[in-house]
Structure 1
Amino acid sequence: MSIVTVILLFLVALVALCYLFLIWNFNYWKKRGIKTVKSWPLLGSFPSLFTQKRNVVYDVDEIYRKYKSTDNVVGVFSTRMPQLMVLSPEYAQQVFVSEFRRFHDNEMARTCDTETDEILANNPFILTGQAWKERRAEITPGLSANRVSAVYPVSQSVCKKFVEYIKRQQRMAGSSGVDTKSLCLAYTTEVVADCVLGISAQSFSDNPNPLVGMIKRVFDQSFGFIFYVTLLTLWPPIKKFYSVPLFSKDVVKFFFDLMQRSINLRRESAEARDRVDFLNYMLQLQDKKGLNTMELTSHTMTFLTDGFETTSMVLTHTLLLLGRDSAAQQRLREEIGTANLSFEQLSELPYLDACIHETLRLFPPGLFARKLCTERFEFANKDGVSVGVVPGDVIIVPNYSLHHDEKYYEQPMQFRPERFLEQNGGVRKYRDQGVYFGWGDGPRVCPGMRFALTQLKAALVEVLRNFEVKVNSRTRNDNELDDTYFMAMLKGGIWLDFEERK
């Protein structure tokens, strides 16, 4: 036998072994009496995650629509790792709320190494078990209604500057329309930087603070991190000796230095120490708990990261949907009125609330949830077969699919804010059914929800008072999502025209 033949046989055997390794447990759910969706070696049940020809949520939605009428749960695979997707809203509600203790943690905790990703490792979204409870208890008072109310004048001040910034951007854009995603990110960066750190990011100037660019980098997932997550699904023990942080070292250093400068400025200024804002709350917590600067930075990054990108995306899409629907825009403008609104009055605008909830339904930041089982639980399928999940198993909740199911939402692709008005059952109706997860639900609902809503409402009030919002021809007229982004974002960008009102 020649050396070439030996090498070829070796390569064939190696390829065969790799193939078997990738598919050997594809009958995991079938052996338990649960249907398994079509899966491919390496790609698993979600090929779009690798091909990036469309957003992976469409893979999830196809599975949901194919099996929802016949099954409550269905088996899927992330590369070669078996996971269970719930298809019934009753089970979705249990996972988030009524059986929360059995699905306490988020799967992303598996990808985070506390030694290589110090900032992310201390985010409540990542933390598990008792550590999550303690961190949540520490952060929640900093986001109380009183504190959000105290920084509301800051938001109002930023909104006035935002209006002038929009005017300048519209003049420069001309007939091309304004890049509204960048516009709204400038707003949220400015208002969060001021409300949380007491500094200006200079977002509305020609020379913005580097904070704006760093915020964008926080949410740009590197190829190295994506590759690492893929390896974890292929062979979880790799985490013991190899890990890749989500935040790069220079991003961590930037925020660490920014936090240190903000702390120093705050402690040196008697006037600043009197501000009832989030940084002063964190400094009080630092004194009480003895936190070092890195711990304080990781705590505060929760306020920053949760307030920047997510809120800007919701604001962008709300303006888009109002721009498409002139009647809804005018109805909201009439509700807002012309008088300056107090924090309490801002909270008493039902149609504004309904518009935001409807935006979150159509473009939910969390397209689907991946929860870790923390206590054994039995799921019963529609054919009477039960399957148990044990600690460590991953449960997928298809938020986007539930939000767009015509069984629960009439004309689900249409922007119809009135469905969330109180006389029609309000948001509670859909949340209780287990078909609305705009901010998540249950004990792990977004802790910054109140602050985010205040930012959103303050901006929408000022924009609609000053402008007629119209959709530029550069913007697509459907709701197709960006192929690769991990949150809901309209494909191709959002370009709007802001016509000044007389």
Structure 2
Amino acid sequence: MLEVTLALLLLLAGLFYVFMTWNFGYWRKRKVPGPAPRILTGNYPHMYNMKRHAIYDLNDIYREYKHQFDAVGIYGARTPQLLVISPQLARRVFVSDFRYFHDNEVSRMVDDKSDFIFANNPFSLIGDEWKRRRADVTPGLTMSRIKTVYPVTNEVCQKMTEWLRKQIRSPPSEGIDAKAMSLRFTTEMVTDCVLGLKAESFSDKPTPIMGYIEELFKQSWAFILYFIIVSTLPALQHVFKLRFVPLRTENFFVNLMQTAIDARRQQLATGKQFDRVDFLDYILQLGSKKNLDTRQLTAHTMTFLLDGFETTASVLSHMLLLLGRDEKVQQQLREEIEAHLSAKGVIDFEKINELPFLDACVQESLRLFPPAFMSNKLCTEPIELPNKKGENFVVERGTTVIVPHYCFMLDEEYFPNPQAFKPERFMQPDAVKMYREQGVFMGFGDGPRVCIGMRFALTQIKAAAVEVLTKFNVRVNPRTIKDNEYEPTAFITTLKGGIWLDFESRQ
């Protein structure tokens, strides 16, 4: 009996091994080179223990092969993936060969039934649908609308200053959590600018909005487990879908949207003219034109809420971290800002995006801490690609194509001393455009699906930086780590252990 049991166990172990490894010949058959995968994890050795950020594993592969090939074949568990290691090929994926790679991998994981809000975000939509949705929402964020709400941005900046002054009267020994502070700023700012509502994020009794946002972007183990399972058993994507936006969070934002709509319509019904033409004004016009209900309007609006809350807060907090580490750069930026302050102590809208060193500091912060450290694209039509020292190969429809932005932006070949904060990299004329066209800098993505809210986000980040640096000296609290290591489990790029800063009033 024991012999039979052992034989069965060995048979099961053998079958399991064959099942987990039978696909490992996928790239070899297509003459695409790449590192040998491991059973269970493929080429992501820290997939289960999460002790190291996945982008570092990809960077190891990138550095090994970058001088030999344009792309290599890797595996997420047992699922084949194509890792782009040539910036020129990355540029092709996003721009010149966009029609072959126009969908994002996450589109496979959600649908209207599993997650109505995220499934209707332009990031998740596929084919022509994303074009229609992008065409719907883009007019809501023109420069004229951003300018209209710019006074609101400055009001929120002043609230942030008042909040900071209260904090530093009895400063916590561990410093102030810069990410939490930045999220308070973006929550208040975006809620007001987009919905015309107050989040009261800097008050003693904030509304629940920020709590729901923090919950939304907190990567749960269930979320991680889903990616592991579908990487091991890709067919399950057709059966089980991902819910990125929890149901209670969806219900909250639908109700919030209805509150905003009711408040605006009540103002109009009483004959009161609203003093700005903002995004809500536009979205209500769109809703009337297309007969959209509140849930559909929320899905349209969440495009800006999802992008505007967490990612903008991430860039702002990391920029303050980098400025806090370098007093010389901080003072240089402060001097540029102070030379252009208006009588009201702010930078006029027409000038905020014309300060070269301010823009350079933002772009360099994006390079070191890009909110999206990589992009997972889908091949939507078969395409033959060259491979430098290797043979030409065909990328088949449905293949996941990974573009590791981090690897390019932290490569000393393109950015000498890459871990150093050097805004002067972006001071030469059209530096951002030059780096983007080389394929080595994609702070907001590139091509037809470049971030919709880019100009809005940049304006908010710069306004907040102006406010903080004119009112405070920024220093890094000893609790903050000294290097740029990423938090292993973070969905949006975050410094490991958090960003803890000390602020000293200058006035």
TM-score range, shorter chain: over 0.9
User: Could you tell me how far apart the structure 2 residues matched to 1:99 and 1:50 are?
Assistant: 34
Which residue among 342, 357, 368 is the counterpart of 2:363? 357
Which residue among 443, 447, 457 is the counterpart of 1:442? 447
Give, in angstroms, the shift of residue 68 of structure 1: 0.6
Give, in angstroms, the shift of residue 363 of structure 1: 0.5
Are residue 414 (structure 1) and residue 420 (structure 2) matched? Answer: yes
Secondary structure of the equivalent of 2:360?
helix
Aligned to 2:26: 28
Call closer, same or farther: CA 1:174–1:384 in 2, change over 3 Å.
Answer: closer
The question of whether the paired residues in 1 share the 8 Å contact of 2:474 and 2:503 is answered with: yes
Are residue 318 (structure 1) and residue 319 (structure 2) matched? Answer: yes
Which residue among 55, 60, 63 is the counterpart of 2:61? 63
User: Could you tell me how far apart the structure 1 residues matched to 2:53 and 2:423 are?
Assistant: 25
Aligned to 2:42: 44
Aligned to 1:468: 473
The normalised TM-score by structure 2 is 0.96
Are residue 343 (structure 1) and residue 349 (structure 2) matched? Answer: yes
1:379-417: CA deviations, max 9, x gaps?
211224011112211111110010011111111111110
Give, in angstroms, the shift of residue 274 of structure 1: 5.0
Tell me the amino acid that sits aligned with residue 493 of structure 1.
G
Give, in angstroms, the shift of residue 34 of structure 1: 1.6
1:300-323: CA deviations, max 9, x gaps?
111111000000000000001111
Aligned to 1:176: 174
Q: Map residues 269-280 of structure 1 onto 2, 5 A cutoff.
A: 269-270=267-268, 271=272, 273=274, 275-280=276-281
Which residue among 197, 200, 207 is the counterpart of 2:198? 200
Q: Map residues 123-272 of structure 1 onto 2, 5 A cutoff.
A: 123-270=121-268, 271=272
Aligned to 2:505: 500
Aligned to 1:369: 375
Tell me the amino acid that sits aligned with residue 11 of structure 1.
L
Which residue among 396, 403, 411 is the counterpart of 1:397? 403
Tell me the amino acid that sits aligned with residue 358 of structure 1.
E
**Which one is further off, 302-311 or 265-274?**
265-274
Are residue 298 (structure 1) and residue 296 (structure 2) matched? Answer: no
Question: Sequence identity of aligned pairs in percent?
Answer: 51
Which residue among 110, 115, 118 is the counterpart of 2:108? 110
Secondary structure of the equivalent of 1:391?
coil
Secondary structure of the equivalent of 2:330?
helix
User: Could you tell me how far apart the structure 2 residues matched to 1:361 and 1:306 are?
Assistant: 18
Which residue among 485, 488, 502 is the counterpart of 1:483? 488
Secondary structure of the equivalent of 2:473?
strand
User: Could you tell me how far apart the structure 2 residues matched to 1:174 and 1:394 are?
Assistant: 46
User: Could you tell me how far apart the structure 2 residues matched to 1:486 and 1:62 are?
Assistant: 20
User: Could you tell me how far apart the structure 2 residues matched to 1:414 and 1:239 are?
Assistant: 41
Tell me the amino acid that sits aligned with residue 113 of structure 2.
E
Which residue among 376, 385, 392 is the counterpart of 2:391? 385
Call closer, same or farther: CA 1:14–1:120 in 2, change over 3 Å.
Answer: same
1:352-373: CA deviations, max 9, x gaps?
1100000000001111111111
Secondary structure of the equivalent of 1:154?
helix
Tell me the amino acid that sits aligned with residue 293 of structure 2.
N
- The gaps in structure 1 that reach 5 residues or longer are none
Secondary structure of the equivalent of 1:85?
strand
User: Could you tell me how far apart the structure 2 residues matched to 1:267 and 1:5 are?
Assistant: 78
User: Could you tell me how far apart the structure 2 residues matched to 1:100 and 1:170 are?
Assistant: 50
Give, in angstroms, the shift of residue 272 of structure 1: 6.5
Task: Supply the RMSD in Å over aligned alpha carbons.
Answer: 1.4
Give, in angstroms, the shift of residue 276 of structure 1: 1.1
User: Could you tell me how far apart the structure 2 residues matched to 1:242 and 1:494 are?
Assistant: 36
The question of whether the paired residues in 2 share the 8 Å contact of 1:54 and 1:483 is answered with: yes
Q: Map residues 6-17 of structure 1 onto 2, 5 A cutoff.
A: 6-17=4-15
**Which one is further off, 225-234 or 470-479?**
225-234
Q: Map residues 62-101 of structure 1 onto 2, 5 A cutoff.
A: 62-101=60-99
1:97-147: CA deviations, max 9, x gaps?
111111101111111122110000000111111110000000110111111
Call closer, same or farther: CA 1:384–1:236 in 2, change over 3 Å.
Answer: closer
The question of whether the paired residues in 1 share the 8 Å contact of 2:121 and 2:299 is answered with: yes
Give, in angstroms, the shift of residue 261 of structure 1: 1.4
User: Could you tell me how far apart the structure 2 residues matched to 1:272 and 1:373 are?
Assistant: 49
Tell me the amino acid that sits aligned with residue 164 of structure 2.
I
The question of whether the paired residues in 2 share the 8 Å contact of 1:70 and 1:382 is answered with: yes
The question of whether the paired residues in 2 share the 8 Å contact of 1:201 and 1:209 is answered with: yes
User: Could you tell me how far apart the structure 2 residues matched to 1:187 and 1:172 are?
Assistant: 21
Give, in angstroms, the shift of residue 475 of structure 1: 1.0
Secondary structure of the equivalent of 2:192?
helix
Give, in angstroms, the shift of residue 487 of structure 1: 2.4
Secondary structure of the equivalent of 2:25?
coil
User: Could you tell me how far apart the structure 2 residues matched to 1:246 and 1:459 are?
Assistant: 29
Tell me the amino acid that sits aligned with residue 114 of structure 2.
T
Give, in angstroms, the shift of residue 5 of structure 1: 3.9
User: Could you tell me how far apart the structure 2 residues matched to 1:420 and 1:239 are?
Assistant: 42
Give, in angstroms, the shift of residue 238 of structure 1: 2.0
Secondary structure of the equivalent of 2:503?
strand
- The gaps in structure 2 that reach 5 residues or longer are none
User: Could you tell me how far apart the structure 1 residues matched to 2:36 and 2:170 are?
Assistant: 50
Give, in angstroms, the shift of residue 273 of structure 1: 4.7
The question of whether the paired residues in 1 share the 8 Å contact of 2:217 and 2:491 is answered with: no
Give, in angstroms, the shift of residue 231 of structure 1: 2.4
Give, in angstroms, the shift of residue 426 of structure 1: 1.5
Are residue 457 (structure 1) and residue 465 (structure 2) matched? Answer: no
Secondary structure of the equivalent of 1:44?
coil
Secondary structure of the equivalent of 1:354?
helix
User: Could you tell me how far apart the structure 1 residues matched to 2:396 and 2:490 are?
Assistant: 31
